[in-house]
Amino acid sequence: MPRPSESAPLIGVIPPYLLDRLAQHADARVSMPAVKTLIIDQQQRGLREMAVQPHRAKPAPAKRAGPAGKPRRAVHDAGNTTTLPGKLVRAEGRPASGDDAVDEAYEHLGATYKLFWDIYQRHSIDGDGLPLVGTVHYGEDYDNAFWNGAQMVFGDGDGEVFNRFTVAPDIIGHELTHGVIDAEAALLYQGQSGALNESICDVFGALVKQYALGQDARQADWLVGAGLFTAKVRARALRSMAEPGSAYDDPVLGKDPQPAHMDDYVDTPSDNGGVHINSGIPNRAFHLAATALEGPAWAVAGRVWYDALCGGRLRHDADFAQFAALTLEAAQRQGAAARDAIAKAWQTVGVQP
C-alpha cells in the first residue's frame, strides 16, 4: 500500500541545487527571484507535510470528473499572489482565454490526460477521474512549477533564466505523474527510490510530448523542459534522457550534473540523496530501450514501465535493480524483442550485470 506520509513532499520541477546556485552566483535580477522561490517552496513543503500526516483528518473527496475518457480541467489565475487556487479563468470546454499561460496549462493538462487514457486506459491521475486543476501566475517571478497533491501550480519565471513554466508540455506531464506515483507506489523521495520517482516522471512527461506530436521514439529529441530556459542561458533543456549530463553548461547555472552510468552514481546528502541527479541513469535506460524498438515509445517501452509502476509489486523503497527486474517481467508479455531490448538497456547503464 502507498504511504503518502512518507512519499508526498512538495516536488518542484526545478531542483533546489539549481535555485541555490542562482541565489548565490547570479545578479540581483536572477538571485532575488531564486531566493523568493526557495522560501515559497519551503513554506509549501511544510504545508504539504502537515496535510499528509496520518493523524490529521482527511479532506472531503474532490468532486469527480465526468465519464471515463473525458477530462475535467479548470485553470485558475493567482494574480501573482500565492493564494490557491485563485480566480477561475478557463473551465472544461470553454474557449481559449487569450492568456498564453492559461491556455498552455489547459492544453497540456489535456495532453497528459489523453496519453494516460488513450494508451493505458487510466482515467486521470488517480485512475478515478480526478479533476485536473491548475493555477498560473503564481507568485512574483516564481521560478518553479509543482504538484501539491491536489493541483498543479505554475510560476511565470524571472524572464532572465526561466520562461513561464507552462511552456513545456513534458513539464506538466512530469509533475502530474508524481500524482500517479503517489496513487500507485508512493515511492520514497530519497536516494534511488527518489531518483526512480523523478525518472518515471521524466519518462511519462516525455511520452506526453511525443504522443501529442505524433513522434516515434527515434524522431523525438528526448529533452525534458526544452524551451524552459531563455535564450540568454547556455542550455538545451533541463535534462537530456538520451545524453544525461549534456542538457546545460552555463556560467551561472553550472554544468548538468547527471550521470549516465552506475559507475558515476553520485552519493550526496543534498537533493534528497541526488534524486534529480541520479535519475539520469534510469532515464537513459528507458531511452535506449525505446529507441531499440520500432515505433512510438509509448506503445511497448511505455507500456512496460507503466505496468511495472502500476502492477502492485513496486516497493515504496525500491532501488534501480528492483525496478529493472519488474520491467523485465512486464516485458515478457510484450515479446522477446521487447525483453531483449530492455535487458540490454539496463545492462548498458550498469544496473543489471
Task: Single out the residue of 15, 2, 6 nearest to residue 48, CA to CA.
Answer: 6
The residue from 104, 175, 184, 243 that is catalytic is 175
Active site residue 175: yes
Helices (H), the chain: 4-7, 16-25, 28-51, 100-120, 169-184, 191-213, 271-274, 280-292, 301-310, 320-331, 336-348
Active site residue 160: no
- Compute the distance between CA of residue 223 and CA of residue 237 in angstroms, rounded to an integer: 6
Amino acid 43: pLDDT: 79
Residues 6+ apart with CB under 8 A from 83: none
User: In the chain, how many H helices and how many E strands?
Assistant: 11, 10
The residue from 108, 123, 137, 276 that is catalytic is 276
The letter for the amino acid at 328 is L
Total-model pTM: 0.93
Cell numbers found for residue 246: 549534456
The letter for the amino acid at 119 is I
Amino acid 64: pLDDT: 54
Cβ neighbours, 10 Å, residue 90:
22
**CB hemisphere CA count around 210 (13 angstroms):** 28
End-to-end CA distance of the chain: 30
Amino acid 48: pLDDT: 53
Amino acid 42: pLDDT: 80
- Compute the distance between CA of residue 291 and CA of residue 257 in angstroms, rounded to an integer: 24
CATH of domain 4-184: 3.10.170.10
pLDDT in tens, the chain (353 residues): 344 334 445 678 999 999 999 999 888 889 999 999 999 888 776 665 554 433 333 333 445 556 889 999 999 999 999 999 999 999 999 999 999 999 999 999 999 999 999 999 999 999 999 999 999 999 999 999 999 989 999 999 999 999 999 999 999 999 999 999 999 999 999 999 999 999 999 999 999 999 999 999 999 999 999 999 999 999 999 999 999 999 999 999 999 999 999 999 999 999 999 999 999 999 999 999 999 999 999 999 999 999 999 999 999 999 999 999 999 999 999 999 999 999 999 999 999 98
Amino acid 6: pLDDT: 41
Q: Which residues pair with 240 in a beta bridge?
A: 223
Spans of all domains in the chain: 4-184, 191-348
- Compute the distance between CA of residue 22 and CA of residue 157 in angstroms, rounded to an integer: 13
3-state secondary structure labels for all residues of 204-216? HHHHHHHHHHCCC
Contact 247, 188 (CB under 8 A): no
- Compute the distance between CA of residue 73 and CA of residue 130 in angstroms, rounded to an integer: 10
| Cα radius of gyration rounded to whole Å, the chain | 19
Amino acid 333: pLDDT: 95
Which helix or strand (DSSP H or E) is residue 22 part of?
helix 16-25
Amino acid 58: pLDDT: 35
Q: Would you identify the CATH topology of the domain 191-348?
A: Neutral Protease; domain 2 (1.10.390)
